[in-house]
Amino acid sequence: MSKIQAHRPGPLKQQNKTHKTGRHRSKGTLDAIHKGRVPVKEHTKRQKKETSRKNRRKQAFQLRQKRREEVMQMKRGLGSESSAPILTVIIPLSFNVMSEKLINYFKTCDNDSSNYVVSDTCVHVSYPRFKQRFTFMTPARDNSEAILDLAKVRFHLLIIVADTLVLLYPSNNDEDLDNTLLTALLAQGLPSTAHVAILDEGTVVKNVNQFKKTLTKDIQNRFPDEKPVVITKSEDCFVLLRQIGSQKQRHVIYRDRRAYLLAEHVTSEPSETPDFATVKLTGYIRSKPLSVNRLIHISGWGDFQLSQIDLVPDSNLLNATRSRNNETSMVFINIFVLFGQSVTKKIFQIDDDIADNIVLFAKADANLQESLQAENIPDLMDAEQTWPTEEEIKDAEEHHKTVKLKKKVFEVPKGTSDYQAAWIINSDDEGEDSCDESEDEVEMNDCEMESESEPNYGKKDDEDEDEYETMTVTDENMKYDDKLDIEENKLELKKFRVAFEDEENPEDIDLDADVEARVRLQKYRGLKSFRTAPWDPKENLPTDYARIYKFQNFASTKKRVLNEEPEGALPGWYVSMTVLNVPKHLVGMYRCILKKSNESIRPEKPIIAFALLPHEQKISVVNLTIKRVDKDEESVDIRSKDELIFDVGFRRFAARPIFSPHAIGNKHKYDRFLGNDITIATIFAPIVFPPMPVLVYRQNAAGEKVLVATGNVLSVNPDRVVVKKIVLSGQPFKVNRKAAVVRYMFFNREDIEWFKPVELHTKAGRRGHIKEPLGTHGHMKCTFDASLKSNENVMMSLYKRVFPKWSYRQLYS
């Protein structure tokens, strides 16, 4: 039988492309890796906690339903008996606008409504038709033309705590608005707003529509998608009330994180200390629960402790026909809605005998109450001792004298003059630093001069020995001083200073000939690179930094503090809180009557108490981002360390900030003036957890406060390094390619030795170092990395850290 022939493919066979699986591995590759092994247990969808598509849709629907119910519950509770009345603040945007007229419309628009007048500028109105309660407030008017200054300066806290802000526009479109006031309002964070204008009764409808159309255009420049309400008679207020009571509430973050109370009644009684009094503030708690163990900040007064919180009957109820004999039950009407009578008695331990219809809710616990201590008490004996001993000082002086008298010995070609020998540079020393110099930072210390060195002219053969001679050159170089004309040198210095003034930089400074630079500039240092050179933030701190508090991790502390839920009186309750140790002169400013006659007064100015978060009474270094708003040509320059007035949230104080640019890096350049760009202002101030709005005022010569900048709180960080830069300038006297003799930077030999490690530079980008001093009048030999021109000024940059001044001053009303 013949053999079966099989086809054998040759070298030109077809080569198909392999399949590319992309970024993942193919099944075959995975099988090869596993080698037939099977997982011990397969995971099912239930074990993987994977839900089906149907269940995911149900879950999303339930979440939407939950959010919708929360929003509806919030709207239903707004202004009801279970919550505080809707605080509506009316701000007139022009001097000619009468805000009292709008309040009268609110009181008379509904015959079924009941009003309760707290003061001339505050009134409670209850509307059974809407089942809501409102509190209307407006700035008090006086006879001066600076009516709006009250809204700018004193009334800003009411804007912070307002639920709704009603902006009252003038009835004439040609009248200018107060742009400064609007800027301040927008900067500190506005709540929900309503825009209102009041026209005379009987105005033609056509004119009303035309006025409304023009006003809408003006409003939408600052408030897009918002429309005004034009009122010609009291019945038109129903539209405004419906808008205020049902519109979406705009949340102000920094306000919603803290409990606050707007005092409607203030009562004072004597304290055990003669200079202090005990004050009771009565009003509604808003936003968060109020704990009796936490500190409070009263606007214009300061930080205080509470002794107790009492529940007080609420006289502003929707059911105005309730009998006055049933006032005791009014105390708990809000509580019953939330908890019920049994829970209330269990929590508050209500006694059967209720005196004066006031029930004690909580008393402060001395073990849990926060301290009022704002500053750390430094231990002056717990500081590092870095001053040298007397023995070290004597040794340094003797060593310095010895070094000054040492001479340098060079081997130079025969026939070399003294002048030529002075220009010989040791090539071995060019690659090395003359001092022990850090790569990134140069300390201002005395450096040892080289005692002896040998120039590298190559190895000499015996036959070349006759061509060289030994020459001794003194470091003092007395011949150099003999050739120097001192009077001519002074005249040349004056000419150099006059010529340099044309291109003078604010960083450039001129040293007097009789001033020792090493003494005047002893706090300055040189840096190899401003951007990359390290700077220890704990180095050479002033004593004021021992008085402040610093967090190990501010972000972690902030997260922990904000996540804490305080236990105490709930929002919406009408309470009276007792404040301890209030200075009597502050109480006298508000004309509070002592409780000798068992009376209280209704303050003309708003008294607002804010509950402080933990640590917010302590002093630290606060960094603020601010931007100037008065950019006109008449605006006054604001220098660093000038006293300014800061409104940081609910606090008002005076401080002297230092300015620096808002940039990344571990060092920030010190700015002498507040510029038009975003700037960081660093001050000593109480700790505050951002975000928090900032308003900056400057007091002019007439005593008026002018808004100059707005911004926000950036951080609480004492380790932010702000560095001031100065530049010393010198003139090349003699130039020989890469070497030059420089003068007018220093004026004595010791200063040159002190600043010898610092790098030199020119505007053309040349880099160099000081080689050695020449003579005793400030001339020095320098070397550079490239050829130097005779008209190039030689400069030296020096830096020192700048700290803010301890100038925090609480401002009182």
Q: Does residue 65 sit within a domain?
A: no
For 408, the 3-state DSSP assignment is strand
Cα–Cα distance for residue pair 101/103, rounded to 1 Å: 5
Q: Whole domain around residue 662: which residue ranges? A: 618-719
Question: Which pair of tokens denotes residue 349?
Answer: 């331990």
| Residue 385 pLDDT class (50, 70, 90 cuts) | low
End residue of a domain, out of 598, 615, 632 = 615
Residue 608 has pLDDT above 50, yes or no: yes
Cα–Cα distance for residue pair 92/99, rounded to 1 Å: 6
Cα–Cα distance for residue pair 99/698, rounded to 1 Å: 28
Query: What pLDDT was estimated at residue 319?
Result: 64
Q: Does residue 67 sit within a domain?
A: no
Question: Which pair of tokens denotes residue 612?
Answer: 């402080």
Residue 33 has pLDDT above 90, yes or no: no
Q: 781 with 734, same domain?
A: yes
pLDDT in tens, 63-107: 999 999 988 888 888 888 788 898 888 888 776 677 788 888 888
pLDDT in tens, 147-166: 334 344 445 666 777 888 88
Q: Does residue 460 sit within a domain?
A: no
Query: What pLDDT was estimated at residue 500?
Result: 56
Long-range contacts of range 50-57, CB-CB < 8 Å, 24 or more positions apart?
none
Q: 622 with 604, same domain?
A: no
- Cis ω before 139 (30° cut-off from 0): no
Q: Are the CB atoms for 430 and 783 separated by under 8 Å?
A: yes
- pTM of this prediction? 0.73
* Averaged pLDDT for residues 498-508: 63
Q: 784 with 684, same domain?
A: no
Question: Which pair of tokens denotes residue 21?
Answer: 């699986």
Q: 610 with 696, same domain?
A: no
Cα–Cα distance for residue pair 736/423, rounded to 1 Å: 9
Task: Report the CATH number that the domain containing residue 114 is assigned in CATH.
Answer: 3.40.50.300
pLDDT in tens, 230-253: 888 888 888 888 888 888 888 888
Q: Does residue 344 sit within a domain?
A: no
Query: What pLDDT was estimated at residue 624?
Result: 96
Query: What pLDDT was estimated at residue 488?
Result: 67
Cα–Cα distance for residue pair 81/324, rounded to 1 Å: 17
Residues pairing with 278 in the sheet? 269
Q: 602 with 693, same domain?
A: no
Q: Amino acid identity of 773?
A: P
For 99, the 3-state DSSP assignment is helix
Query: What pLDDT was estimated at residue 598?
Result: 42
Q: 709 with 759, same domain?
A: no
Instruction: Let me know the angle formed at the C-alpha of 789 by 787 and 795, rounded to the nearest 5 degrees.
Output: 95
Q: 622 with 508, same domain?
A: no
pLDDT in tens, 262-289: 888 888 888 888 888 899 999 999 989 9
Query: What pLDDT was estimated at residue 409?
Result: 59
Q: 697 with 573, same domain?
A: no
Cα–Cα distance for residue pair 185/423, rounded to 1 Å: 70
Q: Does residue 40 sit within a domain?
A: no
Which range is least confidently modeled, 255-264, 347-356, 520-529, 530-539?
347-356
Residue 469 has pLDDT above 60, yes or no: no
Q: Computed from CA positions of residues 797, 800, 801, 806, in that sequence, does the dihedral angle turn out positive or negative?
A: negative
Give the single-character DSSP code of 522.
T
Site of tokens 């066979």: 13
Query: What pLDDT was estimated at residue 402?
Result: 62
For 227, the 3-state DSSP assignment is coil
Site of tokens 């409780």: 595
pLDDT in tens, 702-760: 888 888 999 999 999 999 999 999 999 888 988 988 999 998 889 888 999 999 999 99
Q: Does residue 731 sit within a domain?
A: yes
Query: What pLDDT was estimated at residue 224?
Result: 85
Query: What pLDDT was estimated at residue 417?
Result: 58
Task: Report the CATH number that the domain containing residue 623 is assigned in CATH.
Answer: 2.40.30.10
Q: 603 with 733, same domain?
A: no
Q: 211 with 270, same domain?
A: no
End residue of a domain, out of 219, 246, 273 = 246
Q: Does residue 388 sit within a domain?
A: no
End residue of a domain, out of 615, 644, 668 = 615
The DSSP code sequence of 594-645 is: BTTSS--B--SS--EEEEPPTTTTSEEEEEEEEEE---STTPPP-BTT--EE
Q: 751 with 693, same domain?
A: no
Question: Considering its fold, how many domains does the chain have in total?
Answer: 4
Instruction: Let me know the angle formed at the C-alpha of 177 by 176 and 180, rounded to the nearest 5 degrees.
Output: 125
Task: Report the CATH number that the domain containing residue 492 is assigned in CATH.
Answer: 2.40.10.190
Q: 289 with 366, same domain?
A: yes
Pairing of strands 192-198, 228-231: parallel
Q: Does residue 406 sit within a domain?
A: no
Query: What pLDDT was estimated at residue 585?
Result: 83
- Average pLDDT over the chain, rounded to an integer: 78
